Amino acid sequence: MSFRLTAEQAAIREAVRSFGDEEIRPVASAYEDDERYPAALLEAAAELDLVAPHVPEAYGGAGTDPVSTVLITEELWRADPGVGGSISAADFGTGMILEYGDEWMKEKWLPKITAGETPIATGISEPAHGSNVAGMETTAEKDGGDYVINGTKMWITNGSVADVAIIMAKSSPEEGHAGITAFLTPTDVDGYDATRIDNKLGIRAQDTAEIVLDDLRVPEGNVVGELDRGFYQLMEFFAPARVDVAGQAVGVAQAALEEALDYAGEREQFDQKIGEFQAIRHKIAGMATDVEAARSLAYRAAEALSGGEEATRLASMAKLFASERAVEVTDEAVQVHGGAGYVSDHHVERFYRDARITKIYDGTSEIQKSIIADELG
């Protein structure tokens, strides 16, 4: 295992960092204030191969390795979790298509996603069933050559801006988790009705929606993977998704650390820079150590995605550790800013709110601990 980035990975980091500093950070607050989805920036990022970069070149992606992929997410979140996060989340579902989808699904949708023409959404969670994925109530009933889907999906990233979505539904409700299937559907069809959720704590530029599925008709050829195997496919899909969240957490924590360092070097109290007080120096040392530890675990988990039995355990560990540290580090960054950290004049106020989501989605911290314990036997 290498703890050094390759020259190519380092170059990717630099390229994303420049894009983030020049194109994302200056407009981040405006998108956040307006709760506006950054469609134009998605296209600009796509020109640099930053949208769904892991998708193979044959389908318009860059075919990045898992460490490069998490690096890109980290840097996009370092720039801004709302705007950069919208870019990195545009691929939330491409893994399912790549791994299990038919060739026509890949040819039709992946080039549009990698080109930044549309993000993809994946509907798993429901109002009454989040952590308990197997409890979902959305049904898919066979009717001739179609499935007819009914139910409500909740908190769906890209739900109201995506042209395409993967919907998880019970095709054999009596079978519990063994009766769930993944369906691919365009969103401009009757029966798909998305309402944007616009009162989020953070990542406000990101699109999150409630989706009502009312007799949504999906041809049987739109089953992604195998009928009734959706739950098992999801379990595979979650490992890279959780490593991605670890990258998000590292990115926002790094951003907060940098803001704290800058502020500590400028702000004076008692006739000296606050960064000269040992209390602040120790705070920053702790923050930096947490970020570095989280980063190491995130990259290690990313490497494990290439194969091996450790992938599930390390992905959950990375997600758990990085997200918990991100919440603490952003909190400390607010503290370093004093009162100035409590208002939106400084980026840390936003980062503090943005970081919180990483402990919740793609499986809460509590669920990650259960997975880790199960994996340990």
Ligand X SMILES: Cc1cc2nc3c(=O)[nH]c(=O)nc-3n(C[C@H](O)[C@H](O)[C@H](O)COP(=O)(O)OP(=O)(O)OC[C@H]3O[C@@H](n4cnc5c(N)ncnc54)[C@H](O)[C@@H]3O)c2cc1C
Site residues (vs ligand X, CB under 6 A): 92, 122-125, 130-131, 155-157, 200, 208, 357, 360-364, 366-367, 370
Distance CA 275, CA 281 (A): 6
**Closer by beta carbon to ligand X, 211 or else 302:** 211
Nearest CB to ligand X, comparing residues 207 and 332: 207
Give one word for 312, left, alpha or beta, with left for phi > 0 and alpha for psi -120 to 50: alpha
Closest separation between CB of residue 202 and ligand X, Å?
A: 8
- The secondary structure element, H or E, covering residue 111 is helix 103-114
Q: Which residues contact 263 (CB under 8 A, 6 or more apart)?
A: 274, 336, 337, 340, 346
Cβ closest to ligand X, residue 164 vs residue 274: 164
Nearest approach, Cβ of residue 100 and ligand X (Å):
17
DSSP structure string for 317-376: HHHHHHHHHHHHHHHHHHHHHGGGGGSTTSHHHHHHHHHGGGGTTTS-HHHHHHHHHHHH
Is 70 or 156 the residue whose CB approaches ligand X more closely?
156
Query: 245 or 264: whose CB is closer to ligand X?
Result: 245
Identity of the residue, 274 or 357, whose beta carbon is nearer to ligand X in the bound complex: 357
C-alpha closest to that of 242 among 201, 288, 297: 297
Least Cβ distance, residue 102 to ligand X (angstroms) = 22
Rounded least distance, CB 293 to ligand X, Å: 23
Q: How far is the CB of 153 from ligand X (least distance, A)?
A: 6
Closest contact distance (angstroms) between CB of 362 and ligand X is 6
End-to-end CA separation in angstroms for the chain:
25
Distance CA 260, CA 237 (A): 35
Please state, in angstroms and rounded to a whole number, the distance separating the CA atoms of residues 130 and 366. 13
Q: Which residue is nearest to ligand X (CB)?
A: 130
- Pairing, β 180-186 against β 223-224: antiparallel
From the CB of 11, what's the least distance to ligand X, in Å?
Answer: 31
Residue 81 to residue 248: CA distance in whole angstroms: 8
Residue (143 or 366) nearer to ligand X, CB? 366
Contact predicate 114/60, CB 8 Å: yes
